């Protein structure tokens, strides 16, 4: 994110410029700085957290947990905020051995 030096509001991309959503100030877009961010325009499939039945978990982080179906001790996981911002996130798991999927609420 880039913030306006004049008023502190968040800026958004508008072509080759960054525009302040508060005061309207325009600044040239710093391509080196912009490369560190992923916008909705440049988002790839790998940037999206998949939690549906057909989602591929392979390549995601793993953790030590016990699969309730086969008893295996490791699973891939993702975390997603499924409720309000003041509620804990939901953790989605997929067993590395049998592929069983489950979720846990904190």
pLDDT tens digits for range 8-62: 888 888 888 889 888 889 988 766 655 555 555 555 555 444 455 566 666 688 9
Whether residue 97 lies in the annotated active site: no
CATH code (residue 87): 2.20.25.10
Q: Looking at the structure, tell me whether residues 61 and 100 fall in a common domain.
A: yes
Q: Looking at the structure, tell me whether residues 75 and 94 fall in a common domain.
A: yes
Widest CA span in the chain: 58
Q: Looking at the structure, tell me whether residues 57 and 84 fall in a common domain.
A: yes
Could you report the per-residue pLDDT of 73-104, keeping only the tens digit for each? Answer: 999 888 888 888 888 999 989 999 998 999 99
- Structural domain including 91 reads 49-105
Residue 20 buriedness (CB in 10 A; 0-12 / 13-18 / 19+): buried
- For residues 56 and 5, the model is more confident at 5
Whole-number pLDDT of residue 73: 95
Q: Looking at the structure, tell me whether residues 53 and 86 fall in a common domain.
A: yes
Whole-number pLDDT of residue 63: 92
> What tokens does 52 get?
């549906």
Which of 5, 14, 87, 104 is catalytic? The answer is 87
Whether residue 64 lies in the annotated active site: no
Q: Looking at the structure, tell me whether residues 59 and 100 fall in a common domain.
A: yes
Q: Looking at the structure, tell me whether residues 59 and 37 fall in a common domain.
A: no
Q: Looking at the structure, tell me whether residues 67 and 56 fall in a common domain.
A: yes
What is the number of domains present in the chain?
A: 2
């Amino acid at each position: 994110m880039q913030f306006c030096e004049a008023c502190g509001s968040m800026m958004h991309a508008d072509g080759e410029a960054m525009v302040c959503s508060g005061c309207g100030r325009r600044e040239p877009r710093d391509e080196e700085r912009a490369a560190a961010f992923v916008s909705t325009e440049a988002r790839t499939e790998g940037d999206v957290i998949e939690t549906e039945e057909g989602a591929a978990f392979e390549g995601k982080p793993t953790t030590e947990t016990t699969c309730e179906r086969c008893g295996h001790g490791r699973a891939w996981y993702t975390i997603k905020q499924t409720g309000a911002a003041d509620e804990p996130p939901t953790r989605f798991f997929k067993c590395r051995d049998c592929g069983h999927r489950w979720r846990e609420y904190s």
